[in-house]
Amino acid sequence: MTKAEELNFDLNDQTILFSGRGKKLQHKIECGNGVTLSKGNVKVYIKNVTRNTDNSYIGKVDYVDPYKALSGDGISDGFRMTFLHGHVFVCQH
C-alpha cells in the first residue's frame, strides 16, 4: 500500500493534465517528471518521480499548498511520497 493510499489521497477519475515545453509532449508519467496529488483542498507537488517495480511511483515532496496543511500526517517538504497513477492530477514534463 502506498502512502497516498494510507492517507486517503484523492483519486483522479478524469484524465491527467500533462504540461511542459520544449520537446514533444508525452502523455505518460516519466522518470524525473513532477506531479501534483490532491487531498481535499490540499495540493501536494512532487518532483523527481521514479517508477517502482510494483508499478507505484515515488518522488520527493517539493511543497504542500497550503503550507504545512498535512504536517499532522507527516507530509512536508522533502518527504519521500509513494503513490499510484490514479492519484496523479497533473504531470509536468
Residue spans of alpha helices (H) in 1-93 = 3-6
Backbone angles phi, psi at 85, to 5 degrees: -50, -40
Q: Which three three-digit cell numbers place residue 46?
A: 512532487
pLDDT tens-place string over residues 8-38? 999 999 999 888 776 666 678 999 999 999 9
pLDDT score for 72: 93
Closest CA to 73 of 1, 3, 2: 3
pLDDT score for 21: 72
> How confident is the model over 63-70, as a mean pLDDT?
95
pLDDT score for 85: 95
pLDDT score for 25: 65
**Arithmetic mean of pLDDT over the chain:** 92
- Predicted TM-score (pTM) of the model is 0.91
